[in-house]
Amino acid sequence: MFESAEIGHQIDKATYKAAVPVLRAALLEAQVDLHENKKIPVVVLISGQDGAGKGETINVLYEWMDPRFISTLAFSEPSDEERERPAMWRYWRSLPPKGRVGIFAGSWYSDPIRERIQGDISLKELDARADQINRFEAMLVNEGALVLKFWFHLTKEGQKKRLKALESDPKTAWRVTQWNWDRLKTYDQLQEVAGHFLRMTNTPYAPWVVVEGTDDRYRSLTVGQVLLEALRSKLASTQKQAPPVAPIVRVDTDGRNVLSELDLKLALEEKPYEQELAQWQGRLSELVRDERFKGRSLVCAFEGADAAGKGGAIRRIGAAMDARQYQVIPVAAPTEEERAQPYLWRFWRHLPRQGRVAIFDRTWYGRVLVERVEGFCTENDWLRAYTEINDFEHEMAEAGVIVVKFWLQISQEEQLRRFKEREKIEFKRFKITQEDWRNREKWDQYQQAICDMVERTSTGNAPWTLVEANDKNYARVKILRMLCERLEAELDDKSAPKSHADAEESDKSDKSDKSKKRKKSGKKSNKN
């Protein structure tokens, strides 16, 4: 994969001097078009070997383009705040909005490559990370983003010369540390791991561009021209990425489904309700204060028919916890800021730290429910959303987030009764809108969408709990009980992901064991 970047590419000074003004003008023109139209975000990944010119290239792009509409994100070891959330969280929150260019110096590729070189993950795990990255980048592209990935390559000898040259110049000496020289020792390993990883993630929608980093002028012109051509092509395109998505195949020969089988007559009298409510609220309070929960986090997702009682159920959950421990996130129509980002961005940004709880009143499932039924997105958008949502929840679960999802179901008759009741009560009148009445006209369409949602997104890591909600007492107790039972099961699970603190302690223990083994081995060899 690196052969073409080892043939000695170079550009003479005169050619470079003549080409730069033309390229700069064209890049600025394309950038202005990008900013004014706000059609797409541009994600540029700058990766490669130490000394190959990553920093210099970023500086050149800032010189050639308008820096007001560019942001550069540099990623190294994750902070404590980042470690307490899924690995991709820090990249999601740094994505550029539509109309801007985001340059990533270090990216979602850095950690897997480093961990493989260090022996922290197997080749199988590396391939799994590649698959995850491919799905993430496909989602970005399908949402309209232009994703450009550059890998700057040097031969082993070329890297050594480059580091020596940087070190000998007082202006650049600070950039070369002992860490860089140590990394040179792992050159062959990097070549092997990076070559494999790049091949696994070299996709049609986000291909790698390997650039020889020996000659500064060649490297700068190559990156500038690739960026210009890609920008022009993307801006000129009037078609949104439309991946082939198979339509939903339904098997409902007998007319039964997960909603029709719910017993909406289930109810709970006031006295046993108050007893059970207090019981499960007390148990929830204990669970979120449990020492084991400090290394986990909880995401509660609430969906349901209009007037099904989501708000009342959420308040009963909140009453069992310290207000400082949880946050309720109400989800409505996206803001302008949210529209400028990929669909899932506004949910990623609210993921809680370890020991905290996030309760979503309406969720990321809006895309396969209201947006699908009301036609606010294309069929391709909501069809591929099932996979994207499953990936999102899988990443949360892998990071130790406990995902609990509730659908509150009521009958059409009960919904009508509650609508009319709300109109009569002054402090509840705000809850009923013309939109609620309009949604009733599409009841059957919404029921089908709900069934498809449950069928496609109820997974082992994040199953749906369907709640019979005609009786509010019954619904609230069932939600609290199911939430407590799920928390208990997760906290008792010995295979659950370790907390950041536990992982650090484990690392220290492993290092200590390895050190003892080396000492023992040394003593044995001395005796011999």
Instruction: Quickly list DSSP for 386-436.
Output: HHHHHHHHHHHHHTTEEEEEEEEE--HHHHHHHHHHHHHSGGGGGG--HHH
In a domain, 40, yes or no: yes
Q: How far is CA 326 from CA 187, 320, 335, 480, in A?
A: 47, 10, 23, 15
The radius of gyration computed from the CA coordinates of the chain, to the nearest angstrom, equals 27
In a domain, 166, yes or no: yes
| Shared domain check, 81 and 162 | yes
Q: What is the pLDDT of residue 524?
A: 44
Q: What is the pLDDT of residue 427?
A: 63
Q: How confident is the model at residue 523 (pLDDT cuts 50, 70, 90)?
A: very low
Q: Residue 249 pLDDT > 80, yes or no?
A: no
Q: Quick one: which of 90, 95, 124 has its CA closest to 110? A: 90
**pLDDT tens column, 409-440:** 999 999 999 988 887 776 666 667 777 777 78
| Shared domain check, 132 and 69 | yes
Distance CA 56, CA 438 (A): 57
Q: Which of 192, 219, 236 delimits the end of a domain?
A: 236
Q: Residue 483 pLDDT > 90, yes or no?
A: yes
In a domain, 171, yes or no: yes
Q: Are 153 and 210 in contact (CB under 8 A)?
A: yes
| Shared domain check, 504 and 493 | no
Distance CA 4, CA 464 (A): 51
Average pLDDT value for residue range 148-153: 94
Q: Which of 216, 236, 256 delimits the end of a domain?
A: 236
Side-chain-side CA neighbours of residue 195 (13 Å): 11
Q: Quick one: which of 138, 131, 140, 152 has its CA closest to 102? A: 140
pTM above 0.85, yes or no: yes
Q: Residue 528 pLDDT > 50, yes or no?
A: no
Report the mean per-residue pLDDT for the chain.
89
Q: How confident is the model at residue 499 (pLDDT cuts 50, 70, 90)?
A: low
Q: Which of 211, 236, 261 delimits the end of a domain?
A: 236
Between 185-199, 230-244, 431-445, 498-512, the lowest mean confidence (pLDDT) is in: 498-512
Average pLDDT value for residue range 348-372: 97
Lay out the sheet containing 101-105: strands in order across.
Answer: 70-74, 101-105, 42-48, 146-153, 208-212
| Shared domain check, 467 and 520 | no
| Shared domain check, 156 and 144 | yes
In a domain, 169, yes or no: yes
In a domain, 356, yes or no: yes
| Shared domain check, 83 and 9 | yes
Query: Domain total for the chain?
Result: 3
Q: For position 455, which CATH number holds?
A: 3.40.50.300
| Shared domain check, 227 and 278 | no
In a domain, 386, yes or no: yes
**pLDDT tens column, 363-421:** 999 999 999 999 999 999 999 999 999 999 999 999 999 999 999 999 999 999 998 88
| Shared domain check, 205 and 286 | no
Q: How confident is the model at residue 68 (pLDDT cuts 50, 70, 90)?
A: very high
Per the structure, the complete domain to which residue 75 belongs is given by 3-236
In a domain, 244, yes or no: no
| Shared domain check, 510 and 479 | no
In a domain, 466, yes or no: yes
| Shared domain check, 481 and 506 | no
Q: Are 356 and 327 in contact (CB under 8 A)?
A: yes
Q: What is the pLDDT of residue 518?
A: 43
Q: What is the pLDDT of residue 525?
A: 41
